[in-house]
Amino acid sequence: MKIGQLAEKSGLAASTIRFYERKGLLPKARRLPSGYRDYDVNALEHLQLIKFSQSLGFTLDELPTLLDTGEGVDHEVIMQRLKEKQRQTEVLLQQLIKNKTKMDALVDRLSQLWGSGQCMEADELASILETMS
């Protein structure tokens, strides 16, 4: 299939597909006599795997260690990277929960103050901002 068809089926722009190919994330397509790229169904599966990996939080720079480069996938490396990403996600989640709790407290305090026609004092705001960092 030509790049336009692959782009449509994958939901990616043709320029993104060409970029992945240049970066080595997608095997180079064979060329037709006209010079057009000709992709097989494996290219679509490969793009879906790239999109899925990105949805898990992997960067494009991390993907070469996860994707099959023609020598087969290394299951140990994939499991190790997934567990590492899982730990990073847990840390991020805990930080987000902490931030949400602080924001909830700030919203409650501002609602209380503004509801009674008051503004927050500069020292109280500074104290809140200090605890939020």
SS3 30: strand
* Helical ranges in the chain per DSSP H: 3-10, 14-23, 41-55, 75-115, 122-132
Question: Could you give the percent of the chain with pLDDT greater than 90?
Answer: 54
DSSP string computed for 87-106 = HHHHHHHHHHHHHHHHHHHH
Using one digit for the tens of pLDDT, what is the confidence trace for 71-88? Answer: 666 788 888 989 999 999
- 128 class by beta-carbon count within 10 Å (0-12 exposed, 13-18 middle, 19+ buried): middle
Burial class (CB in 10 A: 0-12, 13-18, 19+), 78: middle
User: Is the separation of the CB atoms in 78 and 86 below 8 Å?
Assistant: no
Fold of domain 1-72: Multidrug-efflux Transporter Regulator; Chain: A; Domain 2 (1.10.1660)
Quick one: pLDDT band at residue 133, thresholds 50, 70, 90?
A: low
- Which tokens in the block code for residue 118? 């008051």
Q: Is the pLDDT of residue 20 over 90?
A: yes
